[in-house]
Chains A and B, each alone.
Chain A
């Protein structure tokens, strides 16, 4: 079970275990982590599950597809390491992953 750390914009952090094959969004929802809204439940339609992948991990995460990158262009405060957490699947290779959350999803 990969372990993932979610860090809020105010610095608070939570470390949780996720099922392999699950998404970063589901991991946040399952653990009641604030800051991930996920209105569409992972269908890449709402862009309310925006997060930033920690700089040390960016290269290890599969790149985003076009629909996702288009949505990411429109979130508030997009950055190079922005991702929609529902589109990032976790695996043992991502054990230790660190994810930062934005100040707002809207």
Chain B
């Protein structure tokens, strides 16, 4: 490896915070620099809708690593600069101010951006999206006990936001366009569970309504829905999904298919350009299809794979996707992907308690587990999914039988 090799990472992301120091540890002697359009060292995004919003963690406390680590690893970080283009033939990237930088290895960890909705009034003061620290800080400045928040979108981020805002005493309404919350990601049983809990916590959840306009003078005052209903609001937070940031890669002619296409070694269709995290689409050997994931697990694991590839010791990516969501006293841990399930087996009292596990099955095999305050079901569920054996639904549901006993040794 030439001593002068240059590795540039676009985005000071979750993936970058993992990749840069790992690459150094693996013996990369060239330069490493991160370039990001945000003004912050890489931070944990999950707390933005949880502890940070609820005020129990500060911006400093959610940094992935302190500045000293990057310094020690000799990783340069340029903040507040957008990369405008990639010139593959000259192996250069172009910054927005026209400056060109040479690279030997380029890693795209550009993440995703929020999906915007186009309805009248979205530009009013007090209407927010939530993706980055700046968004969360803006929201926080507008929150306050007894103020009213309307959240558009009943996915995990919307529901976590509802929980965090309840914690600080706000009145919260969640508007969901689909017939139920968490429609895309969970079984009806699990959605019903979360609806019940939010109701018990004082959140109003309205499903099957589409927000069609937001009104107010300069400051938001209310949200109107397609069925004529109206909800008063001091703030509105929109959480209706994200779009991967693939434009740079696309303009550079890299293969894109619902994300930047990477192989199991995190390489794009150009062998000197790698990609990791939310912006990628990869082939997952466990589920045998291409996946674009939006999770910390995927960002970290792909970043480690990318570091190994750059260091020259290929290590294929094959990890079981997992995710978590914290709402109130509920710790949800999700192992695997439930898409394509035919049956759901519930273990525990999903109707009245605050703890259960839902097993998503297909042809007698376990695809995924949603475990709420059930860490063991999550941990052993992971093993059961990986083992891929036929399982008896009766045994999965039987709480007198420790799940451990079903795991083949």
Q: Which residues of A contact B (CB under 8 A)?
A: 29-32, 34, 37, 39-41, 43-47, 67, 70-71, 73-75
Q: Are B379 and A67 in contact (CB under 8 A)?
A: no
B128 within 8 A of A: no
Residues of B close to A37: CB separation below 8 A = 300
A30-B65, A45-B324 as given contacts; A74 in contact with B376, CB under 8 Å: yes
- 30 residue pairs of the A-B complex, CB under 8 angstroms, read A30-B66, A30-B68, A30-B69, A31-B69, A32-B21, A32-B25, A32-B73, A34-B25, A39-B297, A39-B300, A39-B322, A40-B46, A40-B296, A40-B324, A41-B47, A43-B47, A43-B324, A45-B324, A46-B322, A67-B331, A67-B373, A67-B375, A70-B376, A71-B376, A71-B379, A73-B379, A74-B375, A74-B376, A74-B380, A75-B379
Q: Are A41 and B46 in contact (CB under 8 A)?
A: yes
Q: What is the count of residue pairs linking A and B with beta-carbon distances less than 8 angstroms? A: 57
Residues of A close to B65: CB separation below 8 A = 29-30
Q: Are A71 and B46 in contact (CB under 8 A)?
A: no
A39-B297, A41-B44 as given contacts; A47 in contact with B66, CB under 8 Å: no
A71-B379, A74-B375, A74-B376 as given contacts; A44 in contact with B331, CB under 8 Å: yes
Q: Which of A29, A45, A73 contacts B333 (CB 8 A)?
A: A45
B278 within 8 A of A: no
**When each residue 261-282 of chain B gets 1 if its CB lies under 8 Å from chain A and 0 otherwise, what string results?**
0000000000000000000000
Q: Which residues of B contact A (CB under 8 A)?
A: 21, 25, 44, 46-47, 50, 64-66, 68-69, 72-73, 296-297, 300, 322, 324, 326, 331, 333, 373-376, 379-380, 404
Q: How far is the CA of A41 from the CA of B43 in the complex (A)?
A: 10
Q: Are A74 and B46 in contact (CB under 8 A)?
A: no
Q: Are B69 and A32 in contact (CB under 8 A)?
A: yes
Quote the shortest CB–CB distance from A45 to chain B (angstroms).
Answer: 4
Q: Are B296 and A41 in contact (CB under 8 A)?
A: yes
Quote the shortest CB–CB distance from B164 to chain A (angstroms).
Answer: 14
Residues of A close to B69: CB separation below 8 A = 30-32
Q: How far is the CA of A30 from the CA of B391 in the complex (A)?
A: 42
Please give me the residue from chain A that is nearest to B44 by CB atom. Answer: A41
**Which of A34, A39, A70 is the most central at the interface, judged by chain B CB atoms within 10 Å of its CB?**
A39
Residues of A close to B21: CB separation below 8 A = 32
Q: How far is the CA of A70 from the CA of B333 in the complex (A)?
A: 13
Q: How far is the CA of A34 from the CA of B22 in the complex (A)?
A: 10
Quote the shortest CB–CB distance from A24 to chain B (angstroms).
Answer: 15
A32-B69, A45-B324, A45-B331 as given contacts; A70 in contact with B46, CB under 8 Å: no
Q: How far is the CA of A37 from the CA of B162 in the complex (A)?
A: 30
Quote the shortest CB–CB distance from A68 to chain B (angstroms).
Answer: 8
Quote the shortest CB–CB distance from B178 to chain A (angstroms).
Answer: 26
Q: Which 10 residue pairs spanning A and B have beta carbons closest together?
A: A74-B379, A45-B324, A70-B375, A71-B375, A41-B44, A70-B376, A45-B333, A32-B21, A39-B297, A74-B376
Quote the shortest CB–CB distance from A32 to chain B (angstroms).
Answer: 6
**Which of A34, A41, A45 is the most central at the interface, judged by chain B CB atoms within 10 Å of its CB?**
A45
Please give me the residue from chain A that is nearest to B373 by CB atom. Answer: A67
Residues of A close to B322: CB separation below 8 A = 39, 46
Residues of B close to A47: CB separation below 8 A = 375, 379
Quote the shortest CB–CB distance from B45 to chain A (angstroms).
Answer: 10
Residues of A close to B379: CB separation below 8 A = 47, 71, 73-75
Q: How far is the CA of A91 from the CA of B297 in the complex (A)?
A: 30
Q: How far is the CA of A30 from the CA of B379 in the complex (A)?
A: 26
Residues of A close to B380: CB separation below 8 A = 74
Q: Which of A32, A34, A43, A74 contacts B326 (CB 8 A)?
A: A43
Q: How far is the CA of A37 from the CA of B50 in the complex (A)?
A: 22
Residues of B close to A45: CB separation below 8 A = 324, 326, 331, 333
Q: How far is the CA of A32 from the CA of B69 in the complex (A)?
A: 8
Quote the shortest CB–CB distance from A34 to chain B (angstroms).
Answer: 8
Residues of B close to A67: CB separation below 8 A = 331, 373, 375
Residues of A close to B297: CB separation below 8 A = 39
Please give me the residue from chain A that is nearest to B323 by CB atom. Answer: A45
Residues of B close to A31: CB separation below 8 A = 69
Q: How far is the CA of A93 from the CA of B254 in the complex (A)?
A: 55
